[in-house]
Structure 1
Amino acid sequence: MDFDQDTTASSQLSLTILQSVEDLILHQEEWDHFVEAVGSDVYFLVDWLRTWLKFYGKTCEIRFYIAKQNEQIVAVLPFCIERIRIGFASIRIARFVSSYGTIVVFSPPIQAGKEEPVIKLAVSDLLATGNCDAVCLSPLSGLSSLSTIENWSEVFDGRIDLLERKDVGVHTVFDLPDTFDEYLTSLGKSQKKKYLYTNRSLSKKFDVENRLIEDQEAVDYFDVFVDFHTKLWKQVGKLGHFGEWPDGLEFNRELVRTMAPKGHIKFFELSAGERLLSAGYSFELGSSSFRRLTARDPSQELKKFALGRIGYVKNLEFLINEGKNFAETGPGHYDYKLALSGQEFQMKRLIFTNTSLAVVARTKLYLLMSEYLNFFYYRLWFKKLSPKLRLRSRPLWAFWVKAKL
């Protein structure tokens, strides 16, 4: 499906709409090439989108947009549409594919300077042809230009409302220098001295090996990492990522099986002979890395070596030596990341609706109910009461995962 719309007096955007995974696969080469060329996220690659839809998008209606100007791609945007109900509050909403069920922070693949006309076209189509009550863009990276645009009412000529622009937590990124020595210098004298001392002490105690695991070997290594990560969290009575997130284990196994042979998934291992000390799980695209999970040996005898930090720095060393210049490390505030020269940025949530009073009221009611659900289920029950009552750990409620915007 294609249509055109004037965006300025002298230019025109054309929008191709794909409504099946099969259609998306036909455009995979140009889609993936653009995602990497524009410096966007691994989460927008076709293999990632296909895998997410297989596990989490079975009931979704999908609309993938390819925006072009003068026959050149200027944006690719994948949306899933579904109706969600919390009690008596119900809305039909469009979100980016991968918005829930996994850990993501979005920098949508849009050519610089084209953000406003592209979002105008896509959101207008989703609210009209897609019959959506709302379009939610979240969680947007603090580095995404969409997070900084203020004049959305002017962009939409008053026909569409920006119902909400909300901070939804922070995420941490690392701007990586050309050499590891430059990185160590960026830590400052105290942190650099601490790292070098601990690293020497560890090397004296063990015959340490720092290893990168990639391609087909990464596929075979996945279960090793899962067991190591799960063992760490079991020490504090939790399931870890692969047990806590619904379908988290099989979703990630499929990602690794599909994307590791193409160089998009890597593991980083710090070991002493047969003993695994720390490990990291990352996605990669172009000159960027997307660090998502880490694990370490929780033994008391190793606590003095700060294996979490040592492993993290050695992971960054690999990235620098590979020529990576950027590492996005996921949502949440972590003091140790800041101490290692990470920078925090505010994530944003944008929600658009048309100007219908009924639609606005319905969406506001849903957002209110969603906040109540998040407070009573996640913050009160899951995070506080359940651990205090020493109830056996259970996966996150699948409905909460989907309903939370």
Structure 2
Amino acid sequence: ALRVGPLSVRVVRLVGADHMTTTCDPLVHPEYAERAVSDLLTVLHDPRDLIELGRLSLESCPSEVLRHGLLTSPAVGSVTVYDDPLPQMVVDLPSDVDTYLARLSRRERHNIRKENRRLNREHLVVRADALTDRDHYSAMDEFIELHQREWVAKGRRGHFAEWHDARAFHHAFASVSAGASRLRLRAIRADGHLMAMSYAVRFGCRMHYLYSARSLDPRWHFCFPGRIAAYDLIRTAIAEGATLLDFGLGDYEYKAKLGARRVPLHHVLGVRAALASRARGAVLRGLALSHDLVGYHLWYLNLSRYVPAWRGSLYDGWIHTRMWPNDAPALKRLVCRSRRRETNRDEIDDES
């Protein structure tokens, strides 16, 4: 049950079927998707108010198929498909680096080669797996500290301070991933100084980028450490035989320049036919949109910058109710601008 103040709403969310790390596409052939969703409802013995499938890239299952699957249950009264304001970015990887570079624009290809040549010529550069000579815990600590220093220097709290227990979660996730030989922590050092790191996991033929971190030392500004780290991860993925790099959620222009395509994301939300469920869902939706607009976009992303001592971490009320995109036209424009500014604000220095 999802509790927001006195309101209690029973919610089913599809998890553990990731097509990419920030999406939850059902891993089922489209021909059988409607039946699979219908079967999902039959195993839910206790009644629920809401059923959320998302974020969905819909590359494996069209939204109408999932919608019809939910509507096969007489208990489901309505199903709505929402578009997410931000896309998923993915890079289709060829079998060799030269073919990958040939797909980029002439300018981007020139910049990558020029920066790497100059870096190698003027400095002793080591690009290596950070797990080669240390345990995953100390390697993750090094990554987290570099990531936090970067964001604190920009007047931000950084992911590992903004989200509750993020540090503990990623240490645990790294431990499990390292044990399964899936963890990829790449470190780039120049003259013994840590310049940039990338954090990813490998599942089958896919490499999933999670985060990157870079030094803000001005001596490295000539080579754009963020782009150097991203290119290093792409080379690593190609060398391992991966066919797709999941570059994460968000509309980042520098990722597009590195060959990423934008995959639209969607949410499929079913509401139980019972009047009480529809009423609880409507109240929760109003609270969710208020949390998103006032608590996150107005306060957290904008006003709190002027009173950083009051900012704190992202609060549970916003995190737990992120099921509805803001679909009122004026609010949607504000949210899209806010989210795009959030994803692009700190990427300008990665572009030439």
| TM-score of the two chains, using structure 2 as the length reference | 0.83
CA distance in 1, matches of 2:220, 2:179: 34
1:224 to 138, 142, 154: 142
Pairwise mapping of residues 2-401 of structure 1 onto structure 2 (< 5 A)?
83-87=1-5, 89-97=7-15, 104-126=22-44, 129-147=45-63, 149=65, 152=68, 156=72, 160-168=76-84, 169-214=86-131, 217-391=135-309, 393-401=311-319
Q: CA deviation at 1:324?
A: 0.5
Aligned partners of 2:129 and 2:30: how far apart in 1? 34
Aligned AA for 2:318?
A: W
**Deviation (angstroms), 1:276:** 0.9
Which amino acid in the other structure matches residue 183 of structure 1? Y
4+ aligned runs moved over 4 Å, structure 1 = none
Cα distance between partner residues in 1 of 2:318 and 2:243: 36
Instruction: Tell me by how many angstroms 1:328 deviates.
Output: 1.0
Q: Is this contact kept in 1: 2:91–2:259, CA < 8 A?
A: yes
Aligned 8 A contact 1:89 1:369 in 2 = no
TM-score after normalising by structure 1 = 0.73
* 1:370 to partner: Cα distance: 0.5
Report the CA distance between 1:320 and its aligned residue.
0.1
CA distance in 2, matches of 1:320, 1:154: 39
Question: What does the per-residue CA deviation read over 1:63-113, in whole Å, with 9 as the maximum and x for residues that have no partner?
Answer: xxxxxxxxxxxxxxxxxxxx22334543110113479xxx72223332453
Q: Distance in 2 between matches of 1:195 and 1:286?
A: 28
Greater mean deviation of Cα atoms: 177-186 or 294-303:
294-303
Letter in 2 for 1:94: V
Post-superposition offset of 1:164 = 2.0
Question: In the alignment, is the contact (CA less than 8 A) between 2:71 and 2:78 conserved in 1?
Answer: no
Taking the aligned partners of 1:224 and 1:119, their CA distance within structure 2 comes to 43
The Cα shift of 1:300 comes to 2.6
For 1:123 and 1:167, locate their aligned partners in 2 and report how far apart those are by CA, in whole Å.
23
- Give the Cα–Cα distance (whole angstroms) in 2 for the partners of residues 251 and 291 of structure 1: 17
SS at match of 1:113: helix
Letter in 1 for 2:206: S
CA deviations on 1:150-182 (whole Å, 9 max, x unpaired) are 751786166524432101221101110000111
AA of the residue aligned to 1:289 = M
Residues in 1 aligned to 2:203 and 2:112: alpha-carbon distance in whole angstroms = 28
Equivalent position SS for 1:366: helix
Q: Which secondary structure does the structure 2 equivalent of 1:149 belong to? A: helix
Deviates more, 1:351-360 or 1:266-275: 351-360
Question: Relative contact order: is structure 1 or structure 2 higher (C-alpha 8 Å, sep ≥ 6)?
Answer: 2
**Counterpart residue identity of residue 152, structure 1:** H
Contact 2:182 2:201 in 1 (8 A): yes
Indicate how the Cα distance of structure 1 residues 213 and 162 shifts in structure 2: closer, same or farther if over 3 A, else same.
farther
**Cα distance change, pair 320–308 in 1 and its aligned pair in 2 (3 A):** same
> How has the CA–CA distance of structure 1 residues 194 and 315 changed in structure 2, closer, same or farther, with 3 Å as cutoff?
same
Higher strand share: 1
Cα distance between partner residues in 2 of 1:157 and 1:105: 24
1:93 counterpart letter in structure 2: V
* Alignment check: 8 A CA contact 2:136 2:174 kept: yes
Rounded Cα–Cα distance in structure 2 between residues aligned with 1:362 and 1:163: 15
Preserved CA contact (<8 Å) 1:86 1:370: no
Distance between the aligned counterparts of 1:298 and 1:397, measured in 2? 29
Cα deviation for residue 146 of structure 1 reads 4.7
- Contact kept? 2:75, 2:273, Cα under 8 Å: yes
Superimposed CA distance per residue, residues 249-276 of structure 1 (whole angstroms, 9 cap, x where no aligned partner): 1011111112212112111111113211
Distance in 2 (alpha carbons) for counterparts of 1:146 and 1:218: 39
> For residues 147 and 309 of structure 1, do their structure 2 counterparts lie closer, same or farther at Cα, with a shift above 3 Å needed?
farther
**Match of 1:143, as an amino acid?**
E
For 1:365, give the aligned amino acid: V
Asked if the contact 2:67–2:79 (Cα under 8 Å) also holds between the matched residues in 1, the reply is: no
Q: Provide the rounded CA distance (Å) in 2 between the counterparts of 1:108 and 1:265.
A: 24
Number of residue pairs aligned between Structure 1 and Structure 2: 318
| Aligned-residue identity in percent | 22
Q: CA–CA distance in 2 between the matches of 1:148 and 1:191?
A: 39
The one-letter code sitting in structure 2 at the alignment partner of 1:325 is T
Q: Deviations over 1:347-371 (max 9, x none)?
A: 1111112322332232122112211
Unaligned stretches of 5+ in structure 1?
A: 1-82
